[in-house]
Amino acid sequence: MFDWLRNDGAKFDKLKLRYYTEDYRGVHCSRDVQKGEIILYVPKKNLLTLDMAMESPIGSQMAARNFRQRLISPKHSFLATFLMEEKRKPDSYFMKFIDILPKGYTNFPIFYTKEEREGLTGSPFQHQITDKIKDIQADYSLICKEVPEYRQFPLKEYSEMRIMVASRIFGIQIEGHKTDAFVAYADMLNHRRPRQTSWTYDDGVGGFIIEALEDIKRGDQIFDSYGKKCNTRFLLNYGFINLNND
């Protein structure tokens, strides 16, 4: 993935990816960073956007049926569809990004086993998990009903991609147009509040940037903020809880 980004002009020489376990990683400073420095630049060419998803072969069929107004989670469904389409194209331009996405999703509650769900007995969070599963199944069923070729995508894979989208996309504005996008490398920063960095799409440089909001020492982990949320939302949509959630 890093070569793919570099070849298109991405800049991330101030960053270093570290693995803590096989499934847990974070982004660290490769040198001292000062407040106001740009620590990541990803060109527009490397972004997977909602607009691209709606123009894809199956996405365009969904758009023609006005699914953007009819689905429970329309943008998540379009982007999930685009990922599944691209995964099936050996020559996909975005394969290097797709290859580094998680292979397992057992930390997300909608994929908990029966025994794990029993550990939540008596908690209202059980209902939130059930509602999330039903919403995903409802959207999937509606798409399959009106776009028959959608059945090539199994419900389990669609559910995984829906979670992937919900936990990783960035809401941005490109040349005055609002959209959502996957941004390689930017989606690897872990969560912390208060904010340590800020991100945006910069029309002037033609790409997505992350800027440091404070001085960060070489070797320190660099964090993004996923927003001010309760732990039920963090667990349901991101697969973790914040032990010191304010």
Q: What would the pLDDT profile of 17-74 be if each residue is shown by its tens digit? A: 999 988 789 999 999 999 999 999 999 999 999 999 999 999 999 999 999 999 999 9
Instruction: Please name which of 221, 238, 216, 230 lies closest in space to residue 36, comparing C-alpha atoms.
Output: 216
pLDDT at position 168: 95
- The pLDDT of residue 130 is above 90: yes
- Residue 162: enclosing H or E segment and its boundaries? helix 155-168
DSSP state of 17: E
Beta strand pairing status for 223-224 and 190-191?
parallel
- The pLDDT of residue 141 is above 90: yes
pLDDT at position 110: 97
For the record, the structure tokens of 176 come out as 């005055």
| Cα end-to-end span (Å), the chain | 35
- The pLDDT of residue 196 is above 90: yes
Strands (E), 31-86: 38-43, 48-49
Q: Is residue 173 a contact partner of residue 201, using CB atoms and an 8 Å limit?
A: yes
For residues 148 and 144, what is the distance between their CA atoms, to the nearest angstrom?
Answer: 5
pLDDT at position 200: 98
pLDDT at position 205: 98
For the record, the structure tokens of 123 come out as 């908690």
Tell me the torsion sign for CA atoms 199, 201, 204, 206.
positive
pLDDT at position 84: 98
pLDDT at position 21: 87
- The pLDDT of residue 122 is above 90: yes
Look up residue 188 and give its amino acid. Answer: M
pLDDT at position 244: 83
pLDDT at position 105: 94
For residues 118 and 116, what is the distance between their CA atoms, to the nearest angstrom?
Answer: 5
